[in-house]
Structure 1
Amino acid sequence: MPATPAQPATSTPAPSAERPESPRFADIDEAHRMLAPLMEAIAAVGGPHCEVVLHDLSSGDLDHSVRVILNGHVSGRTVGGPSTNLGMEVLRDPGRNHDAFGYRGRTADGRELISSSVYYRDLDGRIIAALCINRDLSPVQGAMASLAALLPEAGGAGSEAPHELVAPDVSSVLEDMISEAVAAIGKPAAVMTKADRIEVLRLLEDRGAFHIKRAAEKVSARLGVSRVTTYGYLDEVRRG
């Protein structure tokens, strides 16, 4: 499950393909003992931007499900911290295989994650634990943005060719517009300055994004600021 303590993942991961069933454990304590060395190995190879979490789902207490966490600074969680929206989905439909690999999530401050989750059951078939890996993509994205800045713009200077966003609904169009505006700044939202965020809003305002319903709410979530702050920035853009 993704490491978002305050907001849901960007999408629901697809279940894994057919594969051998995960081992079963007598209880969460046994799961902890058996999985702890594996967690250490993953964190050591993944480095400081790779969070590894063991969730205790045996009691159904999703507000305090984090049993063990390595590199918790990625999501800002500690032992005793919460699960995510995916934990709720698992407990709502425990009979299904919820294992998923390489899906995207997002932290509360707007950093993108790539994540995998494996769920473990007890001897009676109840889901009692989840092993989750969340890798922060913002360092890689920042490096890519720096390299992209060294390349000439496609089409050359003064190119005015339109760029059309085609999607099945207006919400998806808005998400693409926000992603393009953030990408144009060249850095993840989590490290943007106030001026950077105002420029994101200027780009969106120029394209008419705020004519779409709930646009300010979605922009606020992506930039990691409140709606009040977003409206304040938008006023600055419109006054300028």
Structure 2
Amino acid sequence: MTTRTATDDTASALADAAARQTYETADEVLRLYQPVMRALATAAGPSVEVVLHNLDGSDVDLDHTIMAIENGHVTGRAVGGPSTSLGLDVLKDRQRNHDAFGYRAVTSDGRELRSSSIYFHNAAGDIIASLCINVDLSPLQQARNMIEALLPVPPVGAEEAPQEHFGSDLLSVMDQMISEAIAEIGRPVEQMSRDDKIAVLEKLEKRGVTQMRKSIETIAKRLHVSRVTAYAYLDEARS
């Protein structure tokens, strides 16, 4: 399932606007949409390229289709530069709806892009221009890698590693540990079986919680059982 982004939604809105009317020439599209391109690129930032291609006529030169471009450093292109491989598909069928949103693209140096393309038609139904938005994902990927590098990596034998709990007093520490043991069962207390509750007591016994003052009373309340039942579960856990 593809997740939509703000740039996808912007491209979709532009596509809806383009679909409601036709244009005589690619130059007309340029006059109307060049200010939109600049506004979009400025708002989205330097990692977002916005480019308008001229696809008008029967002898389109795919090596020289770019009429206007913002943030061309994303793909290393400029005005007068080339189309992409999608241009070939478009020219095979100029009357089909080729609009696409949030698809994956790759630059010549291997960077991953998230792209959207919309196409403008003339009165005859032929495509005469395209507006493409290309988001360079590498800054986001680098940021993700930095964050992941800062996150703790569980050591080998993590189950045996000590886990520290902090609280304003011992009762709050105990309550945290009880909550953690309950969460590890994977279901709400209301849906726990007898064996589930014994498993909670077993975890708390191993972690020393049952040695704390008033622990059994607190555990009994959290498990919705009586104090006597909690002690019985503890005896089974110990055995």
TM class by smaller structure = 0.5 to 0.7
- For 2:76 and 2:157, the matched residues in 1 are separated by 43
Deviations 1:117-162 (A, max 9, x none): 00001122111100000011101110000000112336x3389xxx
2:139 maps to 1:139: yes
Query: Contact 1:54–1:129 at 8 Å: present in 2 too?
Result: yes
- For 1:143 and 1:157, the matched residues in 2 are separated by 26
Name the residue aligned to 1:121: 121
Segments of 5+ residues of structure 1 without an aligned counterpart are 1-15, 160-240
Name the residue aligned to 2:78: 78
Query: Contact 1:22–1:120 at 8 Å: present in 2 too?
Result: no
Name the residue aligned to 2:66: 66
Shift of 1:23: 2.6
Name the residue aligned to 1:36: 34
Matched residues, number: 142
Query: Contact 1:102–1:115 at 8 Å: present in 2 too?
Result: yes
2:60 maps to 1:50: no
TM-score, normalised to structure 1's length? 0.55
Q: What is the DSSP-based 3-state SS (H/G/I as helix, E as strand, rest coil) of the residue aligned with 1:36?
A: helix
Q: What letter corresponds to residue 145 of structure 1 in structure 2?
A: N
Name the residue aligned to 1:93: 93
Q: What is the DSSP-based 3-state SS (H/G/I as helix, E as strand, rest coil) of the residue aligned with 1:149?
A: helix
Higher relative contact order (CA 8 A, sep 6+): 1
Q: What letter corresponds to residue 32 of structure 1 in structure 2?
A: L
- For 1:57 and 1:23, the matched residues in 2 are separated by 17
Whose helix fraction is larger, Structure 1's or Structure 2's? 2
What is the root-mean-square deviation of aligned Cα atoms in Å? 2.0
Moved over 6 A (4+): none
Q: What is the DSSP-based 3-state SS (H/G/I as helix, E as strand, rest coil) of the residue aligned with 1:63?
A: coil
Deviations 1:34-71 (A, max 9, x none): 11111111111111111000000114211100110111
Identity %: 54
Rg (Cα) greater in structure: 2
Query: Contact 1:49–1:135 at 8 Å: present in 2 too?
Result: yes
Q: What is the DSSP-based 3-state SS (H/G/I as helix, E as strand, rest coil) of the residue aligned with 1:81?
A: coil
- For 2:146 and 2:83, the matched residues in 1 are separated by 34
- For 1:63 and 1:27, the matched residues in 2 are separated by 19
- For 1:105 and 1:125, the matched residues in 2 are separated by 27
